[in-house]
Amino acid sequence: MDLFSTGKTEFQLPQAELTYFPNFYNLHEANNLFEILKESINWQQDDITLFGKTHLQPRLTSLYANNEKSYSYSNITMQPKIFTKELEDIKNAIEKVAKTEFSTVLLNRYRSGSDSNGWHADNEKELGKNPIIATLSLGAPRYFHFKHRSLKAESHKILLGSGSLLIMGGEMQRYWLHQIPKTKKDIGERINLTFRKIA
């Protein structure tokens, strides 16, 4: 962790807690982690079924955990692999600022601007009520859009830079949706790690 950049932003939002650390890792550390994870993670591309139609998911994913609990969303059930040393170190660093413990990390790899993650909430039963979800971004910056389910004025975006950490908490998964939209810009790859607790 970069001890010299403590800057953080706590967004004032109705029915959500959202905190952004732009430089959780510095650019050098973030680059290193990006290269290590790109090579060492067991990336897969699953089929998802949305509104009765089956497609390849528009990104690569992988699941790691310190227990055997699977994670299911969009008709996919993922079985975890055991945390690697790098993932364990990242988890320990993030737990200190998130002030909670995580069991599981879902990794996403967006190979280009045409990879994406559609509107959703991380509200699966196995995450429990008001889950804390910490997401670390490495590589190409991408916009994170989030909107309130019923308050139409509450629609925002944050550019998630390399090395940044975003922590979602409070009732965010109940009242808000988020997405990583596609972009036509010619950008490189991005890896995102979303730490969760699956009890």
Ligand X SMILES: O=C(O)CCC(=O)C(=O)O
Identity of the residue, 108 or 162, whose beta carbon is nearer to ligand X in the bound complex: 108
Site for ligand X in 149-168 (CB under 6 A): 160
Identity of the residue, 1 or 105, whose beta carbon is nearer to ligand X in the bound complex: 105
What is the 3-state secondary structure of the chain? CCCCCCCCEEEEECCEEEEEECCCCCHHHHHHHHHHHHHHCCCECCEEEECCEEEECCCEEEEEECCCCCEEECCEEECCEECCHHHHHHHHHHHHHHCCCCCEEEEEEECCCCCCEEEECCCCHHHCCCCCEEEEEEECCEEEEEEECCCCCCEEEEEECCCCEEEEECCHHHHEEEEECCCCCCCCCEEEEEEECCC
Q: What does the alpha-carbon distance between residue 46 and residue 76 come to, in Å, rounded to a whole number?
A: 8
The interface partner of residue 180, options being Fe ion, ligand X, none and the CB cut-off 5 to 8 Å by kind, is: ligand X
**Exactly one of 46, 88, 122, 154 binds Fe ion (CB under 5 A); which one?**
122
Q: How far is the CB of 122 from Fe ion (least distance, A)?
A: 4
Q: How far is the CB of 192 from Fe ion (least distance, A)?
A: 9
Q: How far is the CB of 157 from ligand X (least distance, A)?
A: 12
The interface partner of residue 60, options being ligand X, Fe ion, none and the CB cut-off 5 to 8 Å by kind, is: none
Q: How far is the CB of 46 from Fe ion (least distance, A)?
A: 16
In angstroms, the first-to-last Cα distance of the chain is 27
Identity of the residue, 1 or 191, whose beta carbon is nearer to ligand X in the bound complex: 191
Is residue 146 within 8 Å of 176, Cβ to Cβ?
Answer: yes
Identity of the residue, 98 or 180, whose beta carbon is nearer to ligand X in the bound complex: 180
Q: How far is the CB of 16 from ligand X (least distance, A)?
A: 14
Does 57 contact ligand X by CB under 6 A? no
Question: Which residues of the chain form contacts with Fe ion (CB under 5 A)?
Answer: 122
Question: Which residues of the chain form contacts with ligand X (CB under 6 A)?
Answer: 106, 108, 117, 122, 135, 137, 144, 160, 178, 180, 192, 194
